[in-house]
Amino acid sequence: MKKNIIYLTLIILIMITACKNKTIPGIDVANLDISTVAGNDFYQFACGGWMASHPLKAEYSRFGTFDEMGEKSKEQVRELINEISRKDNAVGSIAQKIGDLYTLSMDTARRNKEGIAPLLPYLKELNTINDKKYIAIALAELHCIGSGAFFNQYVSADDKNSSLNIFHIVQGGISLGDRDYYLQQDAQMKDIRTKYVATIAKLFSLAHYSPEESQKAAAAVLKIETQLAQAAFPREKRRDPEANYHKITIQELTKMAPAIDWTTYFNRLDIPTIKELNVGQVEPMVEVNKIIQTESLQDILYYLSWNVIAEAANALSDEISDVSFDFFGKTLTGKEAQSEHWKRAVNVINATLGEAVGQLYVEKHFPPAAKEKMLDLVKNLQIALGERIAAVDWMSDATKVKAQEKLASFLVKVGYPDKWRDYSALNINKNKSFLDNLLAASQFTTNYELSKWNKPVDKNEWYMTPQTVNAYYDPSTNSINFPAAILQAPFFNMDADDAVNYGAIGVVIGHEMSHGFDDQGRQFDKEGNLNDWWTAEDAAKFKERAQVLVDVFDNIIVLDSLHANGRFTLGENIGDQGGLQVAWQAYQNTLKGKTAPEPIDGYTDAQRFFLAYATVWAGNIRPEAIMQRTKLDPHSLGRWRVNGALPQIDAWYDAWNLTPENTLYVPKEKRVAIW
């Protein structure tokens, strides 16, 4: 995944029905909880009915309107795959690859019969290493199949030369996702670590290690991952682009981490002539070197073997997959059951042959007219953001000029790529195991990514498939990107009530635009380079205003004594604040010279705008998922994207006639004012 892409996890819920030549209301009053006072808990007021009618199913740790739309997308992809699978497809064709991989994924009887057998050759080869000098080749092999052992690597734009792709190394190597899981000493975290060690030992046991070896392996894995966690940058520091950019030569890398034979490593990756690269975080890389130098070879092999086992678990028997799920699914997120096999199979296809399926998807589900309508709406939002930049009173004219230039330079991508990925080099062989085919697909993906090294950046490339329910801003290309899956009726329908469309998809568009001017995005210029184009005074004023938003979210208690992390979620919160302001202004622009729209179901157009926004984030979530997302997800929880964001918006108060007596009321002088 590209380091610098800023994602918006989203879904637009616009409950509408087709009706020719008639404006369609977009708010379903059944989703509301009118027993709640809007100004005291707007999230419950706008979404309480939806939440009551959508209780969590066993397979979900969180289920919201986002997930509801994701389910629809999976059903659509499933239908496409089933159509393909019923045909006699030529070997080597895209249809053959999709059909056979889906069949392999669904064939649990075969996987249960094979058991651990498909994994054993990979573990055997890894454990033939008898000298630390061979760790480099083992690391390269693991990285080629998607493992993040010791560190992560990828090819992407040079932050300070966005026209050229370079090699990046960033911290990684910890299976629990965040350093807090290893370092915090409260009872809950200790219990999670105890269960993690037990899971590691159980999976080693299933991989034919003796009970004694399994216990030693589990202890070694936790020890090494804890050392990596101690050296890792906190998630808040990862938000600083300058602090995560260290372009060095290969000679300097060798001096930094001499325990790894970098010549061997890069030869295996087929980029032997590499001369320089970016090491995002230096201290974690120094720690990797220390671990390899000081820990026993056996413990390092246990750690590397764990990376193989953990990556492969879900491609093996139900017994093995269930052990993995019991911890990573149940313990960490609160899920009670795995998803149905067909859903997991669709996920596999989307992950390995995503654009191939995507091409079929847009042909069936995304008419050209939808793309044109979306482009028009984006233009309206772009105009509104330009107006707001011009009107802000805290930014100098010199910086405003640069900001307007960046806004005008946005690359807008809607629906799907103009050029589809070539999958001809990927071989799917139904006579081989499911695991073998997945590893082949991982190698294919790695080869594709590495092939971009030292080549010009393709600014038209997409980093999401059309069937993905999401959107993103990419600083290195200064682009805003909206896959087709979020733009289908009934979720996006420009014949519906404008207030609803601007409150839902309009805010989404404004959110992505605002990422270009959030705490990270603002540090990149119109060409996508990490380049300070702000005056020192304007930068200081931005930080002062952004700190108000940090403080707002730092003071929110999301679970028991757990607070939201205002610094970690700052970019997304700025996106929401800016998106709301820009979408509201764009909607107001559409009303100029027109008669004000009539109320629908008793709600004014202004009220419908904010109801539509809130409905986007309706959802139910388990306590375990609240904790995990607070630690791992840079987006605030859905409840607080409503109750934390809307009290900063003046128009929201006017729409609902709110007063200081309302619980969510924030005095005007204390509201966040950035974009």
Q: Which residue, 608, 627, 607, is CA-closest to 562?
A: 627
**Per-residue pLDDT averaged across 352-366, rounded?**
95
Coil, helix or strand at residue 473: strand
* Structure tokens, 518: 């959030």
Q: Which helix (H) or strand (E) holds 536?
A: helix 536-554
Is the predicted pLDDT of residue 368 greater than 90, yes or no?
no
**Residues with Cβ < 8 Å from 493, sequence gap 6 or more?**
14, 16, 24, 501
Is the predicted pLDDT of residue 217 greater than 60, yes or no?
yes
Q: Which helix (H) or strand (E) holds 557?
A: strand 557-559
Q: Give yes or no for a contact between 61 and 335, defined as CB atoms under 8 angstroms apart.
A: yes
73-91 residue pLDDT tens: 999 999 999 999 888 999 9
Q: Give yes or no for a contact between 624 and 630, defined as CB atoms under 8 angstroms apart.
A: no
Which residues on adjacent β-strands are paired with residue 399? none
Is the predicted pLDDT of residue 646 greater than 70, yes or no?
yes
Is the predicted pLDDT of residue 9 greater than 50, yes or no?
no
Average pLDDT, the chain: 94
pLDDT score at 596: 86
**Per-residue pLDDT averaged across 556-584, rounded?**
97
144-162 residue pLDDT tens: 999 999 999 999 999 999 9
Question: What percentage of the chain has pLDDT greater than the value 90?
Answer: 91
40: buried, middle or exposed (CB in 10 Å: 19+, 13-18, 0-12)? middle
DSSP of 34-89, one letter per residue? TTS-TTT-HHHHHHHHHHHHSPPPTT-SEEEHHHHHHHHHHHHHHHHHHHHHTS-P
Q: How far apart are the first and last CA of the chain?
A: 29
411-415 sheet: strands from edge to edge: 6-8, 471-474, 479-483, 411-415
The DSSP 8-state label assigned to residue 600 in this structure reads B
Q: Report how far residue 604's alpha carbon sits from residue 450's, in angstroms, rounded to the nearest whole number.
A: 53
List the Cα angle 296/220/148 in 5-degree steps: 95
Q: What is the identity of the amino acid at 246?
A: H
* Structure tokens, 538: 């304007």
Q: Report how far residue 144's alpha carbon sits from residue 443's, in angstroms, rounded to the nearest whole number.
A: 5
Query: Taking the CB of residue 142, how many other CB atoms lie within 10 A of it?
Result: 19
386-441 residue pLDDT tens: 999 999 999 999 999 999 999 999 999 999 999 999 999 999 999 999 999 999 99
pLDDT score at 373: 84
Is the predicted pLDDT of residue 344 greater than 50, yes or no?
yes
Is the pTM value of this prediction over 0.75?
Answer: yes
Q: Report how far residue 205's alpha carbon sits from residue 571's, in angstroms, rounded to the nearest whole number.
A: 43
Coil, helix or strand at residue 468: coil
Q: Give yes or no for a contact between 285 and 169, defined as CB atoms under 8 angstroms apart.
A: yes
pLDDT score at 13: 29
**Residues with Cβ < 8 Å from 654, sequence gap 6 or more?**
606
524-533 residue pLDDT tens: 999 999 999 9
Query: Taking the CB of residue 164, how many other CB atoms lie within 10 A of it?
Result: 13
Q: Report how far residue 264's alpha carbon sits from residue 209's, in angstroms, rounded to the nearest whole number.
A: 30
- As a residue count, the chain comes to 675
Q: Give yes or no for a contact between 631 and 180, defined as CB atoms under 8 angstroms apart.
A: yes
φ and ψ of 244, to 5 deg: -115, 25
pLDDT score at 486: 87
pLDDT score at 20: 34
**Per-residue pLDDT averaged across 442-462, rounded?**
97
568: buried, middle or exposed (CB in 10 Å: 19+, 13-18, 0-12)? buried
pLDDT score at 491: 65
Q: How confident is the model at residue 14 (pLDDT cuts 50, 70, 90)?
A: very low
242-290 residue pLDDT tens: 999 999 999 999 999 999 999 999 999 999 999 999 999 999 999 999 9
Q: Report how far residue 239's alpha carbon sits from residue 137's, in angstroms, rounded to the nearest whole number.
A: 32
Is the predicted pLDDT of residue 18 greater than 50, yes or no?
no
pLDDT score at 8: 40
Q: Which residue, 673, 648, 639, 668, is CA-closest to 557?
A: 639
- For 369-440, strand residue ranges (E) read 411-415
pLDDT score at 11: 30
pLDDT score at 489: 53
* Structure tokens, 349: 């296809």
Q: How confident is the model at residue 26 (pLDDT cuts 50, 70, 90)?
A: confident
Distances (CA, A) of 240 to 6, 74, 229, 276, 307: 13, 36, 19, 22, 29
List the Cα angle 594/596/599 in 5-degree steps: 150
Q: How confident is the model at residue 2 (pLDDT cuts 50, 70, 90)?
A: very low
**Residues with Cβ < 8 Å from 529, sequence gap 6 or more?**
159, 160, 161, 162
pLDDT score at 475: 97
**Per-residue pLDDT averaged across 446-466, rounded?**
97
Q: What's the half-sphere exposure (Cβ side, CA atoms, 13 Å) at 22?
A: 8
* Structure tokens, 230: 């101690």
**Residues with Cβ < 8 Å from 518, sequence gap 6 or more?**
6, 570, 571, 574, 575, 578
Q: Give yes or no for a contact between 573 and 553, defined as CB atoms under 8 angstroms apart.
A: yes
113-135 residue pLDDT tens: 999 999 999 999 999 999 999 99
* Structure tokens, 152: 């992560």
323-342 residue pLDDT tens: 999 999 999 999 999 999 99
Q: Which residue, 635, 639, 637, is CA-closest to 614?
A: 639
Q: Give yes or no for a contact between 179 and 205, defined as CB atoms under 8 angstroms apart.
A: no
DSSP of 178-234, one letter per residue? STHHHH--SHHHHHHHHHHHHHHHHHHHHTT--HHHHHHHHHHHHHHHHHHHHHSPP
Please, what are the domains in the chain?
6-78+352-450+460-670 (3.40.390.10), 119-315 (1.10.1380.10)
pLDDT score at 492: 74
**Residues with Cβ < 8 Å from 298, sequence gap 6 or more?**
220
φ and ψ of 151, to 5 deg: -160, 165
Strand 411-415 versus strand 479-483 pairing type = parallel
484-523 residue pLDDT tens: 998 865 467 666 789 998 999 999 999 999 999 999 999 9
Chain centroid to CA 351: 14
Q: Which residue has the tokens 């959107």?
A: 471
